[in-house]
Chain A
């Protein structure tokens, strides 16, 4: 231990390696969590639509034939069954939608009754000019407002009921631009569809939950509905995270390999330098196994220290890096006891394995030759 230079070199080599691996894994873990968090907030990923024997009459957003398909509905109370599925805890929001064709200022349009609370989670990208409507209010898609010449504060009559335009959604580039939105209960009443909905959107927090399993659970809970996962979102998310992880593990393996070479070369040099010392040990009665133990114990102590310090350095470096790149909004990095355990285990494992050969060389030194080698 008091051979500071060599011990310091092994310590530094392993520490840098472990710190880099910890930093990389912590960074990717933090980014993964952040991406997940953002993706989870990124709206619906499961659609619930009525079972139908008809084919859709839309293609690429173009409606052929005036209506996309003959409207069928789901009983709204059935949606309550979703709260009883096994993975219910993974559901962030369920947004029921009732749809009906109406005429606004002489133009035919689609009126959607929605739950605005759920919509905050399902469509976080909506930017509303004005406010979310109260019971007798309407929220207009940007195209509806433009074509019908309506703005906030205007009154429109739909199916003999007056509505005040409380807000207009800024262009989203989606079908939402073409729709009028009202409170679910109000629209159900206006359309004469009390207790029924046309479809529902679900946002599932599925970082760890199997989306296919959730789809099946929801389908089982809703007998008259067809449940579909928006697979691209889910699979794309998983693939990206998978690639991130593979990359980090690949880089980590290379770093650990280089670390083990540093330990091997340094320990070999150390054994060569200590030939005389080992000769003394052997001459005064140390067995080969005692010499091996001395070399390996030294390696284990240095490696363990490198593992602990490496984790702390990597953890603090990640915190610092994220603070610099992300500022106050920084992605939180928490102390990961499991990763710390792995760092310690890998450091000690690498130190020990890389020192076995030098320890064998040391143990096999002939005491007579070793003492003459001075």
Chain B
């Protein structure tokens, strides 16, 4: 049985004549441990699909389930719990909180987890070590490079060891060398057993994925093996 199931997903924005059909009926499945790249032109609906998969944007119709949980049948607060337990997010523009240190940014998802402070500290240190940022734990985001910010964002996404990592254009703001380092890191996490879903424009990045979902005009075009 597939780990992630999307069935006839439709998403409309607006009403009446101004209606925008961002996603027009998409179905796919993803197995546990897969590395999926979602590609397509701007406006193809990639980010909308990712936000639906991220349990942050309810589809107009269709079904979306992870590990057998029908995500959009959950109540709003339970959906927040689902995000915390099942998903890790890496945003295109890092979205680090500028006045928190690297360590504090990484530990943020643990703030609402019931665990001892020492245990949380250990988890954050471990996540930083996994992305090679242990030595910059006390810096502020403004004091590190773009590639390092991306690593911190990844550390924050994996700190509570969610089964699925979602990345929205993770290399969109990085140079090619740094992009490769980040993609190597995502590949490493995938090899360690994490399911990775990544939206990207870059064919080079998509090359790291095991499977590519091509989107155009709100629809899935074809499924390609990586």
Contacts and interface: CB of A to CB of B under 8 A. Distances in A.
Interface string B172-195: 000000000000000000000000
B51 A288 contact: no
B80 A368 contact: no
B208 interface: no
Interface string B2-14: 0000000000000
Contacts of A282: 56, 80
Given A276-B95, A277-B97, A371-B95, A284 B109 contact: yes
Contacts, number: 56
Interface residues of B, number: 25
B76 interface: yes
Contacts of B80: 282, 285-288
A89 interface: no
B108 A284 contact: yes
Nearest to A284: B109
A282 B54 CA distance: 11
B54 A283 contact: yes
Interface of A is mostly: helix
Nearest to A286: B112
Given A2-B99, A283-B89, A367 B112 contact: no
A85 interface: no
A3 interface: yes
A118 interface: no
- Listed residue (A276, A282, A368) with the most chain B CB atoms within 10 angstroms of its CB: A368
B107 to A, nearest CB: 11
A172 B99 CA distance: 74
A251 interface: no
B201 interface: no
A282 B81 CA distance: 10
Contacts of B82: 285
Contacts of A289: 77
A228 interface: no
Contact of B89 (A2, A276, A284): A284
B93 interface: yes
A123 B97 CA distance: 74
Interface of A: 2-3, 276-277, 279-290, 366-368, 371, 374
Given A276-B95, A285-B84, A366-B56, 10 more contacts: A3-B99, A279-B95, A280-B108, A283-B91, A284-B109, A285-B82, A285-B87, A286-B80, A288-B76, A368-B57
Closest 6 CB pairs of A and B: A285-B84, A2-B99, A368-B56, A285-B83, A368-B57, A287-B80
